[in-house]
Every structure is written in C-alpha cells, then in structure tokens.
Structure 1
Amino acid sequence: MFDAKVALGTWSWGSGVNGGDQVFGHHLTQTDLQAVVDSAMANGLNLWDTAAAYGQGSSETILGNCLKAYPRDDYFLSTKFTPRFAGTGDNPVADMLADSLKRLHTDYIDLYWIHNAEGVEKWTPLIIPLVKAGLVKHVGVSNHNLKQIKRAREILNAGGVQLDAVQNHFSLLHRQSEETGILDYCHQNNITFFPYMVLEQGVLTGKHDATHPFEGDSNRARTYNPMLPKLNELLAKMIKLAGQYHVAVADIATAWVIQKGTTPIIGVTKQHYIADTKNTISLKLASADMKSLESLADQAHVNTQGSWEHSMNES
C-alpha cells in the first residue's frame, strides 16, 4: 500500500505530558532535530509519524517546523486522533485534526489514525467526512485488536472509505499482533502493518543491559531496567549477529520486523541513526537466525505491554 520501507517516529521529540522528556528522558532542541530531518530527507527517508498526543502537540510543532522548508509533495505525514484527548464539539476528530494541520503547516494528512480503540462505534464514522473532504488521504487504526480492526473496517467500508493501515506495538519481545492473527489479516487484505516500539524504547539496541541500565527517572528507566537481567542471552545473540552481518545491533531487531512483512516506525533522535536505518532496509536475516531470536525472546519471559495498551487477546 505504501512505498516506504520504514517510517520515522517522533514520539520522543516533544516535551511535557506524553513527551520525550517524561517518557524517554530526552531533551532535544529544534536544532538537533532539524539535522535529523535534513539527513533523513537527503537519504530518501520521508515518511514521518507523529501524534497530537505526543507532548500535547509539541512533537507535531517541531516536526512541522523542521519540514517547512521542503515541498509538501516530498514527504508523507502520519498523525493521530487520540480518543482520550477528544474535545466536546460536534466532531472532535475534525477538531483535533484541524489543530494538527496548523502545527504541521499543511492542509492535508497523508495517513490519519484513530489512536486507540476506545469507542470504535463512536469515533470511526467521524473520520469518513474528513476523507471525503480531502483533509485525510488514508485511514489507519492503532492499538486495536483483531475484532476491533474488523469492525472499524466494516464501518469505513460502509462509508466508502478503505482501512489502509494498522499500527500496533510489535517487537521481538511483544508479538501479540502475530499470535492473534492480526498480521495475517493485514497481509490478506492489503492493509499495511506499522509496528511501533520495535526497539522497545532502546532496550534492543545493545546499549543497555543489567550492568548498563537506563539513567535517570524517566518512565522508560522505571519500566525497563528491572527487565534487563532477563534479556542477557537475547542481547548477547543480537550483538553476535550484528557482528556477523556488519550492522548495528538495533538493525537486527528492525530487520526482524521487516521480514515479518511490516513497515516499522523507527524513533530517530540523532543524525547518525539515519545511516543505520537506511542500512536496515537491505538487511536479510537467515531463517535460522530469525527463529533463534524468537526463541531467546520467549525464554526471557518479559512483559513489555505499555500502560496505555490493551491485550490483543481480548475478545
């Protein structure tokens, strides 16, 4: 459905509630991130994923400002309507979209998501007139289980709109979207699956382990540091494979999800990550290596489901 092999995520760019400083402990400047955008665009990486909820709009603001110098046709924008931040107007989806359009300095969004499955019947119909008006080109749903995805698709189809994308948490350590049939359903129905948290907020980069935990008091540090001792064998295998394939450790985790037939969202915060991200696209892991990684991930017995997520196993 979409040409890009990866999307570049900006969850960690904003600040404040749900922003990069609170979630990740990042403190990134506009200058820092302009260099990231310029490098990505120069390397043909032009699909950008954000959300009104990230830093209460500050991620969108930074991304919009960084892309301002580029022709609108040169990049692809993905952003989201988040139900729990909905207003009280006649169409809260349209209202949140209008604010996103202003922050992103554009008059349309290429891919607009319903961020959570809180009220599939309520929110899904409200996106249909936005597509008809040309404000939204493609529609996706995020954090929906299979039953909810199917229902959202039915509602959209009844209004003459396609469901083009699904975005869920999916990584070596969190494979519910594969286990519950969501991936297969997407492949069978020409729906692009965009996994997020592919690197588990940096855990699968090889930079952190039991003796090198995340510093500070971010949400990430509190969540993942207790898990690190259980991941020693998986991380050791990833480091070994990175040496064999001559890539960064993070590329192993990203290549694994790409070979599952997905288009991963990769969080980028530094310019030098762009070259690694581009290299990942052409990396092919051997089948035996794929299975070995999955086996070691299973043996770790960690639960990386986010506090905002519902189990994909729910009916």
Structure 2
Amino acid sequence: MNNLPKIALGAWAWGNDGTFGGSLTADTLRPIFDKAMENGLNLWDTAYAYGMGTSEKVLAGFVKDLPRDSFLISDKFTPQCADASSPTAMKDMIEMQLKLMGLDRFDIYWIHNVWDAPKWTEELAKYFEGKDNVPMIGVSNHNLAEIKQADEILKAHGLKLSAVQNHYSLINRSSEDSGILDYCKENDITFFSYMVLEQGALSGKYDTAHPMPAGSARADSYNPILDKLEVMNEALGKIADKYGVGIAQVPVAWAIAKGTLPIIGVTKVSHVEDAVKAANITLTADEVAELESVADGLGLNVIRFWEKEMK
C-alpha cells in the first residue's frame, strides 16, 4: 500500500482502560480525530482488545459519514478475545469487528500477538484467500523466526506478509539488532514501530526531579533509570533545539528516518500537532548515528512484561 502516511495514530487509550485516566469520551476525542484528518494523518490503529470494542466504536462514530477512501483502519485479531474452541473463530471475530465499525473491509489486519499464532495465521489466510479487498496482513510482537513462519503460511495461500508491528525505540532496538528491520526492507514489508517515546520516557517531560506518577507500570519501568534517561533526553534536546521542536518530536523523527512507520497514541489535540511536526523533520545520518551512540552507551533494557527479546 503506497498511500500510507508517515505516522499512524493509535487509539489504544480510546478504549478507556484507565491507563491515561478515565476522562476520554467521544466528545473529547472528536477534535483529536478532526485535527489529524485535516493534516493528512488518516491511518488509525485500533483493536477489539482496546476496551472490548470501545475504541472501535468511538472510531466508527467518527468515520461513518466520511468517504471510505479518505481514511485507513488498522485492526487486529487478538487470540485472547476469540472463542478459541470455535472452528469459525477468525471469521466471527473479523465480521463482528467490521459490523461494529460499520465497514466492509479493513485496510490492515493483524495477528495481535504470538499466542498460538501459526494456527491463527493459517485461519486468517484461509479467510482471506481468494477474496477481493484483502487488507495488508500483519503480525505484531513476533520475533524474526515467527515473522518468517507467518510469511510462509500466508504464501501457501497466495497471500503475503505486508506488515510487522513491534516495540522499537532509541533505547529498544532489538527488532533492528535481530535482523527484523532488514528482513522487512528486503521483502517489502512495512515495519510499524510502537512505543517510540517509551510511554513518555523520551519526551523530556520526566527526570529525576520530576518522576512519573508512582503506582503505574510505566513508573515502575522508567523511574529507576531516570538518571540515564536524562542523558538521552539531553541529546534529544540539542537536536530538538536545532529544528525548533519539542524533545518528543525527535524520537518519532528518528523512527521515520530508520524507515519505520511509528504509531503514536493520541489523547490530546497537541499530540496530533506534535506528530505533524515530527513528520516534517528529516534527520541527517549523522544525527541518527549520534542519538544511537548515546542510547547504546546507556546500556538500558526496557523490554516490557508482555514482550520478549527479538533475537
């Protein structure tokens, strides 16, 4: 698909799971959607798992009166949300999601995680084999061997793997070190990077004097390493100053410079405005190398509890 924007917008928090507070409603999210569409950021990443349909329903309300070719929807098959014992689990999930969103097709459809993934990839392939309007098919949170396996399963049904979505940031480049990025480039697979800002740790908003609010999973992960993150954010700040942007725009611009398509969660209009600025920055090879040198020198491991090393 050649019409992808430089950045996808994530509607994970639109599921109102409490991660970012419980004050997100369709009314508060509507201006965010409108601002994004005005600026050509029209790729929306959602999943049934995000609030058991809540995120999808909110998004459906926003796209229902728009021309179908004016927006792109990325949705997911989450095995844990399906009736695994049913022989029609894949069909049931996809068609339930399409109905929920009032759509006749998705633009990208993912196997959300590796739980029994070969089985579900096979089911996905069987569902789309020979159909019109086949979306880009992707896998998320897969390592290189699992990605290759998914590709083989799809090829056996006349389909291809078109997308991979993994945690990827300046301080977690395991998808690069393991050869996943190279494999994607060689096989015309779009690599979607999520958590490029490490849930705010690379935004310049937090430091040893201003830690993340205690009691959250991200605080448990990042507060103990804020001294090292200060060093990273200082390096990001120098480049941000050069381009006249905020620190948070630089990790996103870095992810774009690496040939990936970052997914940015948006819960405020300012998040969209920041994404637009990031999409307009083109870092030099020297700037990319400089940032990576600083990151590598910190020796951080920020693989989260739901993930694994990609090597």
TM-score scaled by length of structure 1? 0.92
* Contact kept in structure 2, 1:11 and 1:51, CA below 8 Å: yes
Please list the CA deviations of residues 90-125 of structure 1 after superposition, one character each: whole Å capped at 9, or x if unmatched: 132222222221222212111100011222321111
* Worse overlay, 257-266 or 99-108: 99-108
Tell me how far apart the structure 1 counterparts of residues 219 and 23 of structure 2 sit (CA, whole Å). Answer: 15
Q: Runs of 4 or more off by more than 6 Å in structure 1?
A: none
State how many pairs are aligned. Answer: 308
Alignment of 1:296-315 (within 5 A): 296-313=294-311
Would the alpha carbon gap of residues 217 and 103 (structure 1) be closer, same or farther in structure 2, given more than 3 Å must change? Answer: farther
Identical-residue share of aligned pairs (%): 47
Counterpart in the other structure of 1:226: 224
Alignment of 1:94-173 (within 5 A): 94-131=91-128, 132-134=130-132, 136-173=134-171
Tell me how far apart the structure 2 counterparts of residues 222 and 27 of structure 1 sit (CA, whole Å). Answer: 23
Counterpart in the other structure of 2:24: 28
Of 78, 83, 86, the residue aligned with 2:79 is 83
Counterpart in the other structure of 1:184: 182
Deviation at 1:157, TM superposition (A): 0.6
Please list the CA deviations of residues 161-196 of structure 1 after superposition, one character each: whole Å capped at 9, or x if unmatched: 111111111010110110010000100111111111
Mark the runs of 5 or more structure 1 residues left unpaired by the alignment: none
* Contact kept in structure 1, 2:201 and 2:229, CA below 8 Å: no
Counterpart in the other structure of 1:7: 8
Counterpart in the other structure of 2:57: 61
Counterpart in the other structure of 1:252: 250
TM-score scaled by length of structure 2? 0.93
* Contact kept in structure 2, 1:89 and 1:95, CA below 8 Å: no
Deviation at 1:145, TM superposition (A): 0.8
Deviation at 1:55, TM superposition (A): 2.0
Q: One-letter code of the match for 1:61?
A: K
Deviation at 1:135, TM superposition (A): 6.5
1:41 aligns with 2:37: yes
Tell me how far apart the structure 2 counterparts of residues 133 and 57 of structure 1 sit (CA, whole Å). Answer: 25
Please list the CA deviations of residues 269-310 of structure 1 after superposition, one character each: whole Å capped at 9, or x if unmatched: 111222221222221122222122112212223222121112
Counterpart in the other structure of 2:293: 295
Would the alpha carbon gap of residues 226 and 61 (structure 1) be closer, same or farther in structure 2, given more than 3 Å must change? Answer: farther
* Worse overlay, 241-250 or 272-281: 272-281
* Contact kept in structure 2, 1:146 and 1:312, CA below 8 Å: yes
Mark the runs of 5 or more structure 2 residues left unpaired by the alignment: none
Tell me how far apart the structure 2 counterparts of residues 59 and 24 of structure 1 sit (CA, whole Å). Answer: 14
SS in structure 1 opposite 2:147?
helix
Tell me how far apart the structure 1 counterparts of residues 301 and 257 of structure 2 sit (CA, whole Å). Answer: 23
Q: One-letter code of the match for 2:86?
A: G
Tell me how far apart the structure 1 counterparts of residues 157 and 170 of structure 2 sit (CA, whole Å). Answer: 36
* Contact kept in structure 2, 1:108 and 1:134, CA below 8 Å: no
* Contact kept in structure 2, 1:40 and 1:46, CA below 8 Å: yes
